Structure 1
């Protein structure tokens, strides 16, 4: 009888421990709750352009000072310097293609740099003095780069299409569009690559376009936020958009039809951009201009770029 009672007691304790452990695990992985990851002040006011590789490293521009790129190792809580860009260059966006090549938008010197996987030396992949910047970039399945190119003073902008030609040389040109664009900023593609989403910071509007070679077609206003309250954006494999609401301190999670599913409250109030990372692509990293740090939250779907890198999209 005593042995039976002891066994029952042990089973009861084990059950309690399992419940507690399960509750702790659920708390640890609670979706859409953001937490600060790195110390304040690691990055300059120009903190931007986060992108994660398949090894779990997160890369962010302007670590400590302009013209640098920082690296946050997988599972890390502090960044380290990855590289310094050539003299006078300042990065604003980072993206990866299917081969693991890192592309960096240099808005000061009008370059797109490329760093092949496993290397640390940036080379100029594309340059044009006709560019205002470039600002943000998105990479398609075939390696084509779409770059937003705002003229902040003129409150206007356009999109560049940059790709290799039949002779192997990299060529770029401004895409023709069915409407006059505002200050083009955040940019990303739909999962099938047929739709390009572009945020115009001055107006606070998100537009979608069909993509046909060097032409943007079928312009649709997806959503109007308040002027000057949107920055970078990303898409997930479910087709939703994640939009950095700079000055509001949230990430708007929006359906392709413009319906806002939720506003994810952040620790900092000036999010500039975001990227999907982690082993499953469901960790969203956010760059915070206010405080110069990185924060993150878990979501329920992986990002398009993570899917692209794994060769599944």
Structure 2
């Protein structure tokens, strides 16, 4: 069944701080717009090369697609493995943190599904949550534990809640970081040199250098704020979620807060034909905001 929504259904006003105006991140006169609603819990927005934005309704086990051509939303995949975070690689493959069976999925352009991983050294993963695909095709995956009603197991399979790394050839799968309480959001820089990981339970976001074979090195505190999902723009600003969207510059200084009139903001990405539209998933809705910067 195809579901269509009007792109500019509702407009929500918000104020912009002085620092935000100085940085000129938001397009002049832009207002937060409700793109679509009526879901149970939206997550995992990711844009393809054409600027189409895919997002999940995790409790309802679906992936949706917003079209950059006509602004309409339709069902992309009915059975999504309870996908949470999504990310595209340079070849057009969509990757999903599918926690129904604690799996990492690769979805081809014609919707063929390949399970890349469901365990670490024989132990079932805790619950893949979010991921980032590096320029060389390596994948960083966060694996926190959030008990799901559809799981048969009630015990956390792996004691540590970690970040894992899958090699570009999709054969190697290694622990990248384990000194975290509950890693959640993850995003890297376009040069493949740095990775940001949000520890949502410890209320911190960390920055790592990406070393040889995906090894995370030189862990440094980026900001004392955790996050659900996150993204980065062309200036190196980091966008954290939870209470609306909070933007930090590359030095870890807060430069803008975008209020979203929902109890929780789960994730964020850039999309649209010019990648200058910020898409925000929040509770039962998908929002957009026109920006002066592009996403990476």
Query: Normalising to structure 2: TM-score of the pair?
Result: 0.80
**1:85–1:122 CA contact under 8 A, matched in 2:** no
Alpha-carbon separation, structure 2, partners of 1:214 and 1:293: 35
Distance 1:163 1:258, change over 3 A: same
Write out aligned runs for 1:67-78 (5 A).
Answer: 67-74=61-68, 76=70, 78=72
2:150 corresponds to which residue? none
Post-superposition Cα deviations, 1:246-298, rounded to whole Å, max 9, x if no partner, equal 2x2x2111112210111112243411001110111111100011xx1100112
State the secondary structure of the residue aligned to 1:271. coil
**1:176–1:214 CA contact under 8 A, matched in 2:** no
1:10 corresponds to which residue? none
Aligned residues: 257
Which of these residues, 247, 260, 266, is aligned with residue 254 of structure 2? 260
Shift of 1:84: 2.2
2:162 corresponds to which residue? 158
Instruction: Please provide the CA RMSD for this pair.
Output: 2.3
Distance 1:102 1:31, change over 3 A: farther
State the secondary structure of the residue aligned to 1:175. strand
Shift of 1:75: 5.1
Which of these residues, 9, 33, 36, is aligned with residue 34 of structure 2? 36
**2:134–2:190 CA contact under 8 A, matched in 1:** no
2:205 corresponds to which residue? 206
Alpha-carbon separation, structure 2, partners of 1:112 and 1:32: 37
Alpha-carbon separation, structure 1, partners of 2:227 and 2:29: 23
**2:103–2:117 CA contact under 8 A, matched in 1:** yes
Query: Normalising to structure 1: TM-score of the pair?
Result: 0.76
Shift of 1:78: 4.7
Which of these residues, 50, 58, 64, is aligned with residue 55 of structure 1? 50
Which of these residues, 122, 126, 146, is aligned with residue 113 of structure 2? 122
Alpha-carbon separation, structure 2, partners of 1:75 and 1:139: 25
Q: Which moved more, 1:276-285 or 1:74-83?
A: 74-83
**1:235–1:242 CA contact under 8 A, matched in 2:** yes
1:20 corresponds to which residue? none
Post-superposition Cα deviations, 1:38-85, rounded to whole Å, max 9, x if no partner, equal 1x31x223x11011112232111127x522111122255552211123
Distance 1:139 1:96, change over 3 A: same
2:104 pairs with 1:105:
no
Alpha-carbon separation, structure 2, partners of 1:300 and 1:127: 40
Structure with the greater alpha carbon radius of gyration: 1
State the secondary structure of the residue aligned to 1:51. strand
Distance 1:279 1:77, change over 3 A: closer
Write out aligned runs for 1:218-297 (5 A).
Answer: 218-225=218-225, 230-244=227-241, 246=242, 248=243, 250-289=244-283, 292-297=284-289
Name whichever structure is richer in helix by fraction.
1
2:294 corresponds to which residue? 302
Distance 1:51 1:236, change over 3 A: same
Shift of 1:204: 1.5
Q: Which moved more, 1:200-209 or 1:70-79?
A: 70-79
**1:31–1:299 CA contact under 8 A, matched in 2:** no
2:78 corresponds to which residue? 84
